[in-house]
Chains A and B, each alone.
Chain A
Amino acid sequence: GAGVSQSPSNKVTEKGKDVELRCDPISGHTALYWYRQSLGQGLEFLIYFQGNSAPDKSGLPSDRFSAERTGGSVSTLTIQRTQQEDSAVYLCASSLVASAGTNYGYTFGSGTRLTVV
């Protein structure tokens, strides 16, 4: 696609329910990143994918969070048993990657605003 697409754009869920957030990156971008911004905080790294593998998942806050990427394209971030502290804007980004590293700028999606009530 022309840009990075995220869905849903807004999600309100009850505490304890599971949610799935989807990211469709730019075609041909091998790297895909998940970040979140909680109220009053900066962008917090969650996980990144190079192809279908996740070299760094150190930012996932707990084992309730998981992510996968299939076919080197779409990624899904799943939060199980949501808690109120999970409320945030979840941003996905993709980029070209040469051999490794961050030589290219990220293209961000418009985010999913998650509210846990």
Chain B
Amino acid sequence: ILNVEQSPQSLHVQEGDSTNFTCSFPSSNFYALHWYRWETAKSPEALFVMTLNGDEKKKGRISATLNTKEGYSYLYIKGSQPEDSATYLCAFSGGTSYGKLTFGQGTILTVHP
């Protein structure tokens, strides 16, 4: 069983604050780490796919880093906006399960105007 842990479980911030979340995953037999944003009443949307240790990806105000040796990834949001409110999911593939993603429970972000 692959354990993908996300923290915090939920987060409330004010508009303009910068924030970050953590995803931890098994550090052995790593294949890929994904981040998704899931807004209420919509489908999960892919943000980043990372496969190399030290990868850093950026999309607008959102960025992510990857450390496969210690088994963690950070997602950063700079200058949060109310429209960033969503559940942020990380997902891991590796070991004998490299063909599919195992998702964490998600971090629920609420940005208050």
Contacts and interface: CB of A to CB of B under 8 A. Distances in A.
Nearest to A100: B99
Interface string B80-98: 0000000001010100011
B84 to A, nearest CB: 19
- B interface, how many residues as a size bin? 20 to 34
Given A101-B93, A105-B46, A42 B99 contact: no
A102 B44 contact: no
A102 B103 contact: no
A25 interface: no
Contacts of B32: 101-103
A102 B98 contact: yes
Interface of B: 31-32, 34, 36, 42-46, 48-49, 51, 89, 91, 93, 97-106
Given A31-B99, A56-B97, A105-B48, 5 more contacts: A35-B103, A41-B105, A43-B103, A45-B103, A110-B43
A50 B49 CA distance: 19
Interface of A: 4, 31, 33, 35, 41-43, 45, 48, 50, 55-56, 91, 93, 100-111
Contact of B106 (A42, A101, A108, A111): A42
B104 A42 contact: yes
Contacts of B106: 42
